[in-house]
Amino acid sequence: AEGAVAVLASSRPTVEAYAEAARRGRLVDLGSGTPRTGVTLVDHARDTPAVSRELEARLRANLARGEAAVLFLNRRGYAAQVECGGCGAVPRCPRCDIALVYHKAEDRLVCHYCGYAVAADKACDGCGGRIVVRRGAGTQAVEEELKRLFPGVRVARFDSDTAGTPAEREALLADFAKGDVPLLVGTQLLVHQPGVPRVPLVGVLKPEALLGLSDYRAAQKAFESVSAMLDLRRDGPGAEAVVQTAAPAHFAVAAAAAGDYRAFYEKEIESRRMLGYPPFAELAEVTILGRDVRSLGAKSRELLVLFKAAGTGLEVLGPAFPPVARVKGLTRVQFVLKAPERETIDRALRESLAKLRLKKTVSFSYSPFS
């Protein structure tokens, strides 16, 4: 409205929100803020050892001072980690630039935006190395490694296995706050947990796993997560953080380590522009559900024809199976619709779905979708 002032209160707005505020001239740019110091990026491409020597040395010194530390590891719960065994790069769709997802049944790597698929044993585009599918070392492996490195020191794990209930979370945090447990290993669950005491040493392990999310916002999510993890570090002299990663040069990781939102934003907005993702286009995810895979296949082919006929300016990606295609006996097939204007997508949806007559089994959501 006239005279309204949008206040962007977040220190880490989404690139969409930041671009919109800048476009409206409502942006009070506070600069890059205070740069983050004392963060060491360690190039660590391997799964073993789970804890790098650099991090181990700092943990040892920190424990000797009687201080506590928190280690973060993002374990993907719903899909195996797919990466190059040589350089650690995540294979991406050549058309959509999102990470490919491993489909075990067909032993293929699949783009869940456009349906592009390739044999799982393909060579890495970057180094020619072999693509490997692994379950990846989770928080449990890190916990065991810490117990081996520091015998007699209590280590606790904060993830969905050990901190599934509010009572469990409270008990774990109480022990940690009292100093009974000086080493805490956590997942995203710990990042989002309020009231975690700040510590002088934070370790971030394998943040590149976040870049492997098959989502055009993967870099944004990685930047946000790593920043939030590093925010758990106590201010003050001697406070340190170690980010051990196979991708120390990736802009999202490097900018989070440096505490530089502007550096992140400028790279990310350029990549969105190049690839035609929001805020430069509207995106809608259309999912159709069905019990019978065959009729679902027929319906999705029908829908594809209708979408393609729906008019100019609409880009249709798919049909593709999302990462979790079958839930409770229902199979999901997904389209991603892309257009400069939302009205183009709305019209295509209205017209196509009216002709298809299966409204009840169709769900759709606009970007940003998850």
Binding site for Zn ion (CB under 5 A): 84, 86-87, 89, 93, 95-96, 111, 113-114, 116, 124, 126-127, 129
d(CA 92, CA 122) in angstroms, rounded, equals 12
One-letter amino acid at 228 equals A
CB of 85 to Zn ion, least distance (A): 8
CB of 302 to Zn ion, least distance (A): 22
Q: Which sign does the torsion angle of CA 90, 208, 279, 306 carry?
A: positive
Nearer to Zn ion, 125 or 341 (CB): 125
Nearer to Zn ion, 58 or 250 (CB): 250
Nearer to Zn ion, 69 or 114 (CB): 114
Structure tokens at 214: 């098959």
d(CA 134, CA 131) in angstroms, rounded, equals 10
d(CA 323, CA 330) in angstroms, rounded, equals 14
- Phi-psi group of 268: left, alpha or beta (phi > 0 → left; psi -120 to 50 → alpha; rest → beta): alpha
CB of 81 to Zn ion, least distance (A): 14
Nearer to Zn ion, 113 or 176 (CB): 113
Buried b (16+ CB within 10 A) or exposed e, 4-21: eeeebeeebbbbbebbbb
Nearer to Zn ion, 28 or 249 (CB): 249
Nearer to Zn ion, 183 or 320 (CB): 320
d(CA 73, CA 229) in angstroms, rounded, equals 10
CB of 51 to Zn ion, least distance (A): 24
CB of 318 to Zn ion, least distance (A): 9
Structure tokens at 233: 């570090």
CB of 216 to Zn ion, least distance (A): 10
SS3 assignment for 245-269: ECCCCCHHHHHHHHCCHHHHHHHHH
d(CA 281, CA 261) in angstroms, rounded, equals 22
CB of 122 to Zn ion, least distance (A): 11
CB of 61 to Zn ion, least distance (A): 34
CB of 124 to Zn ion, least distance (A): 3
Nearer to Zn ion, 229 or 333 (CB): 333
Nearer to Zn ion, 124 or 243 (CB): 124
Strand partners, 317: 336
d(CA 242, CA 355) in angstroms, rounded, equals 56
Nearer to Zn ion, 114 or 142 (CB): 114
Q: How many CB atoms lie within 10 A of CB 64?
A: 8
- Please answer whether residues 233 and 199 qualify as being in contact, where contact means their C-beta atoms are separated by less than 8 angstroms: yes
One-character DSSP codes across 283-325: EEEEEEEES-HHHHHHHHHHHHHHHHHT-TT-EEEEEE--SS-
Provide φ and ψ at 18, rounded to 5°: -65, -45
